[in-house]
Chains A and B, each alone.
Chain A
C-alpha cells in the first residue's frame, strides 16, 4: 500500500527531476551566444603561442569531440545521455587527461563531511531551540536566541564566511585561514592529524551552522506553536504529565515531521552554501574544485560538477523521502 501510494510517486518525481535538471545543463550552453570551443581556442592563442591554422582546425575538431558538440542537436543529446549512463563526464581540460569523475571523487569526502556535520548540528540545534521557545515563550534566553538566530539568517553565506575569516583567522588568529589540514602534516589516522582536521573544519562548519540555525528555528517555532494549541497537549498538561515529557513526546515529536520535509526541500540551497563556504576558506572540497575550474576556464569540469550536484542532491532527497514513512505513521498506515 505504502509502496504504491508513496514510494512509486516519489520515484517518478526523482526521475523527472533528474531528467529536467540534466536536460537544462545540456540546453543552457547551447542557448548562450558564446561557444566554449572558440573560447578555449581564444585562450590558447591569447597566451601568445603560435599555432598554425591546420593545427587550430584539428584542435577545434578534438575539442568539439570532447565537449560532445559534434553532429546534430538531437544526436548530441543522445550521445550526452549515453555518456552519462556509463558515468563518463569526460576529461578535465586543465588536468588532461584526468577524468572529471576522478577529480570529483577526490574532493567529495571533504564536501560531504562539511555538509553532513553542519547540517546535523544546525538542524538539531535549530529544532531544539524552536521547541524550547514555544514551550517557554517568556524565557529571556529563548528571546535572546530568537533575536540572534533571526538576525543571522538572511546574511549570505559568502559574507558570513568572510566576516568569520576576518575576525577569527586574521584579527584573532585562533583558526587557520585556509586549507583542509596543515601543510606538511602527515596524513594518517592519529590524534594529531584528526585534531588538525578539526581545527581547519571548525570555521567553515561554524559559518554554515550559524546561518542555518535560524531557518530551522523559525519553521519549528511556527509549526510547534500550532501543536501547542492542540487538544492532546492541553489534555496532557491537565493530566499533570511532567513538562519535559510533554515538550519532547507531545510537542516536538509532532512538530518534527515538517522539519524533515524542509530538510529535503532546502538541500539544494544548503549544498550551494557549502560550495560557497568552501571557496572562502579554500577548503579542499567540490566548491574549491569548482572555483579552480572557473579560474582555469575548465568548461568540462564545471559541467561535470553541475551534473554531479544535480544527481547528488536529488538522490539525497529521494533517500530522505524514503526514510520519511518510518517517521510519520500517518504515511505508513495510509
Chain B
C-alpha cells in the first residue's frame, strides 16, 4: 500500500500535483476549525468590503468574511463527500464482493437492483427526497442520503474484479485448503482491489461534491451551513454576477474546480497505475 503510494508520488506528476492540492485543502479544512467568526451568523463584519489586509478576500453583502467563509465551506463540503463516500463504499464493497463471489440467484437479484439504480436518473429522485426534508437536511443527513444512492456503479465495478479474481489459481488453492468464504474475500481478494476501491472512492467524492452544489443551488439543503454550494447560492441570491462582486461568486467556484481537478488527477493516476502497460511506460518514461 505504502509502496504503491511512494512509487506513484515519485513517477507521476499528476499524482504529485493532485496530492499536494488535496493536502492543502485538508489543511484549509483544519485551519477553518479556528475560525474567529460564527459562520452561521450574519453581519459579524462590515458588509461589501473590498479585499484588504483585515479581510483578504473582502466581505459579502450578508456581512461575512469571504475567506473564512470559504474555508469553512471547504471543510463542510469535504466532510459531506467523506460521509457519503463512506456509506456508499460499505454498500458497494459488501454487495459487489458478495455478489461476485456467491454468484447464482443472489448475484442475479443484487445485480438487477444494481442495474435499476444505474438506469434510474438519480438527480430527480434526490430532489424529491430533499424537497420533502428540506430544512432538516444537515451535512450528515444529506451525506447519508446521497451515500445511499451512489453505490451502484462501483458495486458493479468491484463485482467484475472479483469475477476475474475468482478464476485465479490462488483462489482455488484457498478453497481447497478449506478457507472460509468471508476469509477468502477479506484476506485474499480485498487487498487486490484496494487501489481500485481508492480510485472509485475519489470519483465518488467528486460526484458527491457536485451533487451537493447542485442541490444547494436549488435551495434544497440547510442554507445556513456554509458549503461550496450554499456559498454560490447566496452569492446568486444577492445578484453577485450583475453587481460584479467577483470575489464573492468566484471564490467558491474556483475552489470547487481546483478541488475537483486535484481529486480527479489522483483517481486517474491510481487507475492508470492499475493497468500494467501504462505503469511500465510511466517508469520507463521518467
CA distance A20 to B116 in the complex (A): 7
Given A153-B264, A154-B206, answer yes or no on A294-B219 (Cβ-Cβ < 8 Å): yes
Given A17-B115, A294-B218, A310-B121, answer yes or no on A29-B213 (Cβ-Cβ < 8 Å): no
Residues of A within 8 A of B112 (CB): 13, 16, 20
11 A-B pairs with C-beta separation under 8 A: A17-B116, A25-B128, A155-B210, A158-B213, A159-B213, A162-B232, A163-B253, A294-B218, A294-B220, A306-B127, A313-B120
B131 near A297 with CB under 8 A, answer: yes
Residues of A within 8 A of B122 (CB): 268-269, 272
Q: Please report the total number of A residues contacting B with Cβ < 8 Å.
A: 53
Other than the given A39-B132, A154-B264, A272-B122, 10 more pairs (CB < 8 A) read A21-B116, A33-B133, A34-B132, A156-B209, A158-B213, A159-B253, A275-B124, A290-B124, A295-B219, A299-B132
CA distance A308 to B283 in the complex (A): 51
Interface presence of B214 (CB below 8 A)? yes
A21 near B124 with CB under 8 A, answer: no
Residues of A within 8 A of B263 (CB): 154
A310 near B115 with CB under 8 A, answer: no
B121 near A34 with CB under 8 A, answer: no
Q: Which residues of A contact B (CB under 8 A)?
A: 13, 16-17, 20-21, 24-25, 28-29, 32-34, 36, 39, 150-151, 153-159, 162-163, 165-166, 170, 265, 267-269, 271-273, 275-276, 279, 290-291, 294-295, 297, 299, 302-303, 305-306, 309-310, 313-314, 317
Residues of A within 8 A of B132 (CB): 28-29, 32, 34, 36, 39, 299
Given A24-B125, A306-B125, answer yes or no on A317-B131 (Cβ-Cβ < 8 Å): no
Interface presence of B119 (CB below 8 A)? yes
Task: Scan residues 69-117 of chain B and give those whose CB is less than 8 A from a CB of chain A.
Answer: 112-113, 115-116
A166 near B241 with CB under 8 A, answer: yes
Residues of A within 8 A of B121 (CB): 268-269, 271-272, 309-310, 313
Residues of A within 8 A of B213 (CB): 156, 158-159
10 pairs of A and B residues whose beta carbons are closest in the complex: A156-B210, A272-B123, A154-B264, A20-B116, A268-B121, A21-B120, A17-B116, A309-B121, A158-B214, A306-B124
B118 near A265 with CB under 8 A, answer: yes
A279 near B133 with CB under 8 A, answer: no
CA distance A314 to B118 in the complex (A): 10
Interface presence of B136 (CB below 8 A)? yes
A264 (CB) vs chain B CBs: closest residue: B119
B214 (CB) vs chain A CBs: closest residue: A158
- Taking the nearest CB of chain A, how far is it from the CB of B221, in angstroms? 12
Residues of B within 8 A of A24 (CB): 120, 125
Q: Which residues of B contact A (CB under 8 A)?
A: 112-113, 115-116, 118-125, 127-129, 131-134, 136, 203, 206, 209-211, 213-214, 217-220, 232, 241-242, 249, 253, 256-257, 260-261, 263-264, 268
CA distance A290 to B129 in the complex (A): 13
Given A154-B263, A157-B214, answer yes or no on A16-B257 (Cβ-Cβ < 8 Å): no
Residues of B within 8 A of A279 (CB): 217-218
Given A17-B115, A268-B119, answer yes or no on A154-B261 (Cβ-Cβ < 8 Å): yes
Given A162-B253, A163-B253, A170-B241, answer yes or no on A290-B119 (Cβ-Cβ < 8 Å): no
B123 (CB) vs chain A CBs: closest residue: A272
A276 near B214 with CB under 8 A, answer: yes
Residues of A within 8 A of B232 (CB): 162
CA distance A151 to B268 in the complex (A): 11
- Taking the nearest CB of chain B, how far is it from the CB of A179, in angstroms? 16
Given A156-B260, A268-B119, answer yes or no on A302-B210 (Cβ-Cβ < 8 Å): no
B131 near A305 with CB under 8 A, answer: no
B121 (CB) vs chain A CBs: closest residue: A268
B275 (CB) vs chain A CBs: closest residue: A222
B123 near A313 with CB under 8 A, answer: no
Residues of A within 8 A of B214 (CB): 156-158, 276
- Taking the nearest CB of chain B, how far is it from the CB of A162, in angstroms? 7
Given A159-B256, A276-B123, answer yes or no on A302-B128 (Cβ-Cβ < 8 Å): yes
B135 (CB) vs chain A CBs: closest residue: A34
A155 near B257 with CB under 8 A, answer: yes
A16 (CB) vs chain B CBs: closest residue: B112
B127 near A290 with CB under 8 A, answer: yes
Residues of A within 8 A of B256 (CB): 156, 159
Residue in A28, A34, A36, A159 whose beta carbon sits within 8 Å of that of B136 in the complex: A34
CA distance A272 to B211 in the complex (A): 11
- Taking the nearest CB of chain A, how far is it from the CB of B25, in angstroms? 15
- Taking the nearest CB of chain A, how far is it from the CB of B14, in angstroms? 10
B120 (CB) vs chain A CBs: closest residue: A21
Residues of B within 8 A of A21 (CB): 116, 119-120
CA distance A148 to B123 in the complex (A): 26
B120 near A291 with CB under 8 A, answer: no
Given A25-B128, A151-B261, A154-B261, answer yes or no on A13-B123 (Cβ-Cβ < 8 Å): no
Given A17-B115, A155-B260, answer yes or no on A150-B128 (Cβ-Cβ < 8 Å): no
CA distance A294 to B218 in the complex (A): 8
Residues of B within 8 A of A272 (CB): 121-124
B125 near A28 with CB under 8 A, answer: yes
Residues of B within 8 A of A170 (CB): 241-242
Residues of A within 8 A of B211 (CB): 156
- Taking the nearest CB of chain A, how far is it from the CB of B114, in angstroms? 10
Given A302-B127, A303-B128, answer yes or no on A310-B253 (Cβ-Cβ < 8 Å): no
B119 near A28 with CB under 8 A, answer: no
A310 near B264 with CB under 8 A, answer: no
Residues of A within 8 A of B128 (CB): 25, 28-29, 302-303, 306
